[in-house]
Structure 1
Amino acid sequence: MADDLSRMNEMRGITVTREYGSGGGEIARMVADHLGWKLLDAQIIQLVAQKLDISRAAAQSHDEQVEGFAQRLFEATQYFMPPVALSEVIGPSVNDLAYSHALGQVLRTAVDMGHIVIVGRASQAVLATDRSVLHVCIVAPLPQRIIYVMRREGLDAKAAGERIRLKEHQRQQNIKEQYGRDNNDAHLYDITINTGILDLHAAVELVMLALSKKAQKLMAPADQLGPAWGLKPYPSPHDEIH
């Protein structure tokens, strides 16, 4: 177990993308607690607002919808890029390019500081090429997500369904417009977990296993990655087996 934790600590971060109501936020918190890593979620909004020198409300309009580590992270970003002055922002409000740039800077700095679990905010797209980051997607059937939102937010079924639809639309548009990616692109993730049957604790165990396995390949050469590595050729032609 100690060897597994030591190996996982060689990784620098985990991104958790989730369908609204799938329990992804809770899973991210549980994983962070288990590892003793920092959790970064709504704090990102305030950090980006500070980088852009705008109000939290203005930054929130570009988002998918502190003290301590968040403040240290904000201070660390000063070494990479000075804040964007309002006079440099095109138009009456912060443009998407400026916001995306500031958000990307905050996310990359968080990973550079290490041992961070990031919830949403297109982090799976911003950090897609970083092999020291595990990318997780949490999904669940819509009827079960409606029940989750009803219980957690005190809504009736109709209101819960509408809230899920709105949040999913906002998230999809955000990543598409700012990064040209599809939130549902399976290639953005190392592992996708369906909580339709698996409970949240089981999901945490799978995330931990995936983190350990990816850590084992952290320093492997590129030609030793992928499904072909270590496999011998078929003894005879196989047209249907891939």
Structure 2
Amino acid sequence: MTDIVENQPPRHGYRGEPAAPTPSLTRPHGLTLAVSREVGSRGGSIARRVAERLGWQLFDQEALDFLTRDSVAREELHAELPAGAKEWAEFQLARLISKNVIAQGADAIDTVGLMLALAARGETIIVGRGAGFVLPAKTTLHVRVVAPIQQRTAYMADLLRLSPTDAAAEVAGREQRRREYLSHFVTPTTEATAFDMVLNSARLGVEACATLIEHAVCDRHAGETARESPDAA
């Protein structure tokens, strides 16, 4: 008579619950839209319009600064991350630091870590803060919104109720502050080839820019889905 060995799974039939698969750290849980914009080009308005159309969550400078300052909000954000997403964000941050892509200052590292956590969730729009330069290109659509200086100055004058001279100074000051912030990164540039799309909002308008970005997001998503399909060649 064959001895029965205890604590061994049966050779046939039910073999117990399978072990949970290890979360994949190779990709975030969806695409991220990173919007870079010249001051006064209405890039923020365009990003909000895209967010409304896609139903995605948008994080602008104000929202990112709030999350950076508020530890409770950050903890809640990380607690809501899907399985494997937090590990993916931590891995990407360590990779960027090891390659000296971001400065060693705590503020820069905290901001980049926050943006990676948001990107790990997928279906997120991040406006400014150099997001497109630090998020992985394979899962990020990086868009630059531009406009001639005359139109940008006029827009800021109307928005802030400034004289043309004061509006021009405001645009120049904000651009300088953005350049200083981006100096924390090694690779930022305004060269067109650094972006997936460059849109002139003065010629196209907010709605047309939003439509083009929406189409690009949908096409990119369809391409990623096709590549991940088991039936793909």
Partner of 1:235: none
Can you give the 5+ residue segments of structure 2 that lack an aligned partner in the other structure? 1-28, 91-102, 228-233
Over the residues paired in the alignment, what is the CA RMSD in angstroms? 2.6
Would you say 1:73 and 2:77 are equivalent positions? yes
Over 3 Å counting, the alpha-carbon distance change for 1:200 and 1:115 in structure 2 is same
Would you say 1:102 and 2:110 are equivalent positions? yes
> What is the CA distance between 1:218 and its match in structure 2?
2.6
Would you say 1:121 and 2:120 are equivalent positions? no
Partner of 1:152: 159
> What is the CA distance between 1:11 and its match in structure 2?
4.2
Q: Is the 8 A contact 2:33 2:143 kept in 1?
A: yes
Partner of 1:192: 198
Partner of 1:182: 188
Give the greater-gyration-radius structure (CA). Answer: 2
Q: Is the 8 A contact 2:30 2:120 kept in 1?
A: no
Equivalent in 217, 220, 223 of residue 217 of structure 1:
223
Partner of 2:147: 140
Q: Is the 8 A contact 1:124 1:188 kept in 2?
A: no
Instruction: Indicate the SS of the match to 2:133.
Output: helix
Equivalent in 57, 78, 81 of residue 38 of structure 1:
57
Task: Give per-residue Cα distances to partners, 1:204-241, cap 9 Å, x unaligned.
Answer: 011012112322433688xxxxxxxxxxxxxxxxxxxx
Q: Is the 8 A contact 1:131 1:218 kept in 2?
A: no
Over 3 Å counting, the alpha-carbon distance change for 1:189 and 1:132 in structure 2 is same
Aligned structure 1 segments of 4 or more residues deviating by more than 3 angstroms: 74-77
TM-score normalized by structure 1? 0.67
Can you give the 5+ residue segments of structure 1 that lack an aligned partner in the other structure? 1-9, 54-65, 82-94, 222-242
Q: Distance in 2 between matches of 1:162 and 1:33?
A: 32
Instruction: Indicate the SS of the match to 1:196.
Output: helix
Task: Give per-residue Cα distances to partners, 1:138-184, cap 9 Å, x unaligned.
Answer: 00000000111111111111111111111111112221x21112331
Q: Is the 8 A contact 1:172 1:183 kept in 2?
A: no
Q: Which amino acid aligns with 1:12?
A: L
Over 3 Å counting, the alpha-carbon distance change for 1:190 and 1:35 in structure 2 is same
Q: Is the 8 A contact 1:11 1:133 kept in 2?
A: no
Q: Is the 8 A contact 1:21 1:146 kept in 2?
A: yes
Over 3 Å counting, the alpha-carbon distance change for 1:76 and 1:11 in structure 2 is closer
Q: Is the 8 A contact 1:139 1:192 kept in 2?
A: yes
Partner of 2:11: none
Partner of 1:29: 48
Q: Which amino acid aligns with 1:137?
A: R
TM-score normalized by structure 2? 0.69
Over 3 Å counting, the alpha-carbon distance change for 1:96 and 1:155 in structure 2 is farther
